[in-house]
Structure 1
Amino acid sequence: MERAPVSWVIDPHDPRAPPQEIWDRMTPEERQRVVDALPSELEISEASPPEGDFHFNAKLAARDTLGGHFQSIGKRVYLACELPVYYPAGRMVAPDLIAVRDVEVMERVCWSVSAEGKGVDLAMEILWNERSNEELENLAARYASLGIPEYFVFDRRRRRLRGFRLAQGSARYEPIARKGGLLASAVLDLDLGLEGDRLCFYHALARLPEPREVLARLGAMVNDLMARREEAEQRLDDAEERLDEERRRADEERRRADEERQRADEERQRADAAERRLAEALAELTRLKRERR
């Protein structure tokens, strides 16, 4: 007896992934159709307005700084900004930054917990515009109910950073205590802190460089190498010029020596000719003397 297809209709006004029990009954093709139908774009609304460069640059710097670090140490941590996340039967969430450990790092249009086989390990919200305490508390309660192990809130305007971790065996967050002014993340295996209005990540108290800093450092290295190369090329050009000058001098000396040899040869030839003429004259004189006798 053939199994009847399992259908799941996605409400465009309230898109949700199917409950886990329905997902489990679906075929791979049915699951893929659901994932493809889940919205991957967020509508701009008064509830989540765009916050300009101060918000955008901060979350992008956090994602790229972490991405560069994990790539350099060969650790698989998926990072995304404002990616739609769908838990079974739940409303979509889209934190400013998410981190998921031990998964394939690739581009995605959304994160379906059922399809990926695991939920988000860390969520972060980066604030610039005013947010009410009630809104932030509701957001924290929502992330805790989804079982997201760690949650951080970075208020850039007020230069404040808070961190929360799920209490053991519960769906409630507890504040992460500061140590040396830093907040430890067990998910990232890094410490978080602020330098002015910048969110920074630390490994063994050493701050991870931001991509712009790495690019600036690489740019300085490239400029230094270019300057050294130009200096070396200039020294080589100067050396070749000096060598050419030495060659010209050597050629001039050889030319002078050749001219001296030529003059010496000509003098010898003239001397030889004079000796021959003198010998001939003496011989003639001797002959004339004989004849007079």
Structure 2
Amino acid sequence: MTPAERERLLVGILESLSDPRSAMAEGRPHQKAKGRAIDMLTLHFGSTGRVIYLAEELAVLYPGEDVFVPDILAVLDVPQPEDDPRMAWVVAEEGRGLSLVLKVLHQGDRNKDLVANVERYARLRIPEYFVYDRLRQQVHGYRLPGPDAPRYQRIVPQMGRYSSAVLGLDLAVSGGKLQFFYGMAELFGSADLIDRLQGMMSDLETRAEQAQAQAEQAMLGLREALLAALEMRGRPCPEPVRARVLSCQEPAMLHRWLMRAMSESSLDDVFAE
């Protein structure tokens, strides 16, 4: 494709997308669910090193087809560029079609997403298509049973999870949100990780405070034991000595003084440096 042809193609794509009927806005709930999903997937595949291209609301053009804009698309074996220059996924130019489409349905056209697109994506040989019905808290999964199959088969959930062969993950609704699972492990997005880290920090601070309280209690016990040992051996405890014991912040020194108080006869011997 020549630069001029590509420019004309992109102009046509942008013109088709300028029609508000072609892209119905579904509001903030839709945007948040979609953003969270691609965030989890991006973090997961970035950490595993698996080569997969992910994009959000990227225009897609198949030969002889109208442009469509999936919420999230995935293409296997295509690297994820750090700074993606693509303005559209043009199948004729890329040399391959999509591997998966994920739709977040909130208040959009249910017939389009659950009927028309099921037929269309199967005809385009997109191996998997998932719909997260946010309003009804359901997942719908579809998969081509073979590369030449004319229509999708519904993915049957196992224990509430819908398996994606393309992603190597399971999808499910958990806690009122779309969730991905890698084996038994739940994937987390950036916000989830921040919340977990904050929780861990809070827990560590609580444990540190508890440890400090226990240490202070132990120090108090050592001081009281030392003063009691001095009194039991009949040694008067002058106020300067008592003040020295009560102000000491070194457990090892308090322990050493206590051991001496059990055997030494004079205060000088007990508190000798």
TM range (shorter): 0.5 to 0.7
The answer to whether the Cα contact below 8 Å between 1:44 and 1:50 also exists between their aligned partners in 2 is no
SS in 2 for 1:142: helix
Measured against aligned partners, the alpha-carbon deviations of 1:73-109 in whole angstroms (never above 9, x if no partner) come to 1112111121101112221111111111111212222
SS in 2 for 1:172: coil
Q: Which moved more, 1:163-172 or 1:126-135?
A: 126-135
Aligned to 2:194: 215
- Equivalent of 1:86, from 38, 42, 61? 61
1:215 positional shift: 1.8
The answer to whether the Cα contact below 8 Å between 1:40 and 1:109 also exists between their aligned partners in 2 is no
Aligned to 1:109: 87
Determine what percentage of the aligned residue pairs are the same residue: 38
TM-score by length of 2: 0.67
Gaps of 5+ in 2: 210-248, 251-273
SS in 1 for 2:13: coil
Aligned to 1:195: 174
Q: CA RMSD in A?
A: 3.3
The answer to whether the Cα contact below 8 Å between 1:82 and 1:96 also exists between their aligned partners in 2 is yes
Q: Which moved more, 1:60-69 or 1:209-218?
A: 209-218
Measured against aligned partners, the alpha-carbon deviations of 1:154-193 in whole angstroms (never above 9, x if no partner) come to 1101011110001322121100111111111000001111
- One-letter code aligned to 2:55: A
TM-score by length of 1: 0.63
Residues 183, 34 of structure 1: alpha-carbon distance in 2 compared, 3 angstrom cutoff? same
Gaps of 5+ in 1: 1-25, 231-241, 244-293
- One-letter code aligned to 1:202: F
Larger Rg: 1
Q: What pairs up with 1:1-150 in 2 under 5 angstroms?
A: 26=1, 29=3, 32-33=6-7, 37=11, 39=13, 42-43=17-18, 45-106=20-81, 107=84, 108-133=86-111, 136-150=114-128
The answer to whether the Cα contact below 8 Å between 2:105 and 2:113 also exists between their aligned partners in 1 is no
Q: Distance in 2 between matches of 1:32 and 1:50?
A: 28
Q: Distance in 1 between matches of 2:19 and 2:195?
A: 34
Q: Distance in 2 between matches of 1:74 and 1:143?
A: 28
1:48 positional shift: 2.9
Q: Distance in 2 between matches of 1:49 and 1:163?
A: 22
1:57 positional shift: 0.5
- One-letter code aligned to 2:158: K
1:131 positional shift: 2.7
1:221 positional shift: 5.0
